[in-house]
Structure 1
Amino acid sequence: MIQDTIQKQTALKFNIQQEYEKSDIQTVIDILENELIGLKPVKNRIREISALLLIDNLRKNIGLTSANPSLNMSFTGSPGTGKTTVALRMADILYKLGYSRKGHLITVTRDDLVGQYIGHTAPKTREVLKKAMGGILFIDEAYYLYKPDNERDYGAEAIEILLQVMENQRDDLVLILAGYKDKMEKFYDSNPGLSSRIGNHVDFPDYSPEELLKIGKIMLEEQQYQLTKEAEIVFLDYIKKRMQKPLFANARSIRNALDRARMRQANRIFESADRILTKADLVTIVPEDILKSSLFTN
């Protein structure tokens, strides 16, 4: 009797490992780890969801009853914190585990769903849903679908269609609703039908200045540029100042700042065209290229 139990436990361990290797989700998690700096709580949450789905599959394979987990998700956080990137990797994971038929991601906003006149919203929304079937529909700034102060707004119609699909075709479509945390909370409060159908809430924290510096250096490396040590110090100071300004968008703001630094570098090189240039001149961002930002000159 004891031997039989041990054998069963050994077989179960083997099945878990076999199922894990067969799914290849570790590859996706590794890609996510390499793609995104920081965001440890987000990465842990994705691992937890992956583990739940993997074990759910294993339970079904050995004949255990298991209710289908709710896959619809809410991603909350500031712009530029990696929500779309994580959604793409989540689509890969769902596909590898058999919870997504196609594994693709369709990203939309209110304008893609809501029409401007009577009879326009339903066909627009259904066309988007048709394209998203078998994968994930990612709705960015989802709270703009609901405008309670405007009685003639057609966003409520789009929400009603989404609710119907979430209920009747939940096995063939995953919705991820994304946006600022406080606005999303108000949105869910005003739409209990939506809130009750969201099984996983993932909050994306803002990056620290040091994390944003790392992200910036990776962005530059991808384009074969580099910061001098002195430029790194200046750029970190820039990041700290920029984070205090309105409309800061984390990694997006960093990318924009580096694009401007590259432009200043190009102008600096152009103005010194009478001298012979080296490869180092063409790939190096120096403090001057950052210090000319309006944050420093105003």
Structure 2
Amino acid sequence: MTELSQERGDVCLLSGDIGNRMFDRYKEVAPTRFLNCGIAEGNMMSMAAGMALSGLRPVVYTITPFTTTRCLEQIRTGVAYHEAPVVIVGTGSGLSYAELGATHHSLEDMAVLRSIPNLQVCAPADSLELEAQLRQAIEEGRPTYIRIGKKGEPDLHDKKETLGIGKANFLRTGQDILLLGIGPILEEAMKARDLLSQKGIKIGIASMGGVKPLDSKFLQSCVDGGYNKWISLEEHHRTGGLGSALLEWLNENQLNTIQLRRMGINDHFVHELGSQDFVREREGINAESITKLAETL
């Protein structure tokens, strides 16, 4: 954001009472283009829509449930309906705030937002994918939602030339099974790949980058390449997210030879709290769970 604000005089940052010290460098560069909107996310989204329709490029940033479901009407009617060039960033997505309970979990955001017309829905796996998507969203000026982790997640991509919105990329190639995932949870898939290789199972891993738009050319290339056993992985409810989007794509293209198994959170609120690693294990979306599922295919 600091680099973008130096490159463009129309980039603005709106924060919902979060990350204030984190943005000290940004505020040194663009002090008049940072607004702490407080705990009033609906109002913040309406402000961003108005700013965007006035020629600015606002980026809205706060914890995922509070920048999505809390202000859904403002996203739908203020941003998407008017095709206002607002970038909505949800931080701490999925189970990043596992210890704080269901109010801070974001396990339905993609399902809800991908049903809204005009709105792109991204879920970068790492900082390289995030930077590419953020820059593209700012440059193209299309309403875009980007869900990110909390902090400290490792970079998984080897290069960034092919990254962007609606662009899937292989993190690792394989032969036996294809795992398609989104977001920082792909770190667990990379660990599972090492475990499976010890058992003689070669699994390919790809980051889809988001759920809307889907990279149809990439998916077709996977079909043509002989992958017929697929696993989808997301730190999100199994309903309405990546797994559902892939099932829709397979059905629309009448590809009934592909076996798809979806990994995500079942249709419930998560009440047993602890660290993110603890909840991932309890909910069956960690490396060991991926390994067990792959062994059954």
> Fold conserved (TM > 0.5)?
no
Instruction: Give the number of the structure whose alpha-carbon radius of gyration is greater.
Output: 1
Q: Which has the higher strand share?
A: 2
Question: TM-score, normalised to structure 2's length?
Answer: 0.28
Q: Which has the higher helix share?
A: 1
Question: TM-score, normalised to structure 1's length?
Answer: 0.28
> Which structure ranks higher in relative contact order (CA pairs < 8 Å, sequence separation ≥ 6)?
1
